[in-house]
Amino acid sequence: AIPGGFIRLSEPLDEAAKRVLHEKTHVKDVYLEQLYTFGEPGRYPNARVMTVSYFALIRTDELQLSNRSDMDVQKVGWHPVYSLPALAFDHATILNYAVKRLRDRLEYSPIAFQLLPKKFTLTELQKTYELILDKELDKRNFRKKMISLGILNEFDEFTKLSSKRPARLYAFNEEIIENQKGLSA
């Protein structure tokens, strides 16, 4: 099942989403966006349930679940979106909707930066796009397009963690990207 919980009577929706995310995963201070409200009759067998769904984007350098011992967290894990275990109820529908939203957002916003460390290589950026879009992209065309958009800051810093040739580090220019459109690769 997708992690979820119930809203408290006096709690705003966004605050409830942040609380539930933190309680279930110990993740906080991440990008969180309301996705959609699912409320079809019969989606839950024992009661009439409506779900106001959210999706969270977590930077790759922050991908770590807590080692808490409570039951809910023990059941939470990271799974590739294209090879998930069976999900409860209509959670596969919710997840597919989230993936579609994320893909659509790549068309008109620089949302991919919410998934990357503050500084990243162009290869990391391309792999992020490829994972979201579920297709390979031409390396030269991708790099040319990303650089031509003017949304990246280039650093005189290079990766040191690989046995391969060090790669230049970049960061998204947050002042410019707020007004950019058409960022799909």
CATH of the domain at 31: 3.90.79.10
Please give the model's pTM, rounded to 2 decimal places: 0.81
Q: Which amino acid is at 168?
A: R
Domain span holding position 88: 1-108
* pLDDT confidence of residue 34: 95
Of 81, 108, 135, the one marking the end of a domain is 108
Q: Are residues 54 and 21 in the same domain?
A: yes
Q: Are residues 104 and 124 in the same domain?
A: no
Q: Are residues 123 and 155 in the same domain?
A: yes
* pLDDT confidence of residue 65: 56
Counted domains in the chain: 2
- The set of long-range contacts for 14-19, using a CB threshold of 8 Å and a minimum separation of 24, is 17/52, 17/54
Non-local CB neighbours of 101 within 8 Å, separated by 6+ positions = 33, 35, 36, 55
* pLDDT confidence of residue 76: 61
Q: Are residues 13 and 83 in the same domain?
A: yes
* pLDDT confidence of residue 70: 54
Q: Are residues 162 and 103 in the same domain?
A: no
Q: Are residues 31 and 100 in the same domain?
A: yes
Non-local CB neighbours of 170 within 8 Å, separated by 6+ positions = 119, 120, 121, 122, 125, 152, 153, 154, 155
Q: Are residues 17 and 85 in the same domain?
A: yes
Q: Are residues 153 and 119 in the same domain?
A: yes
Q: Are residues 98 and 56 in the same domain?
A: yes
- pLDDT (tens, 9 = 90+) of the chain, 185 residues, equals 888 999 999 999 999 999 999 998 888 888 999 999 999 998 888 899 999 999 999 887 876 655 555 545 456 667 788 888 889 899 999 999 999 999 999 988 889 999 999 999 999 999 999 999 999 999 999 999 999 988 999 999 998 876 678 999 999 988 866 654 434 44
Of 72, 90, 108, the one marking the end of a domain is 108
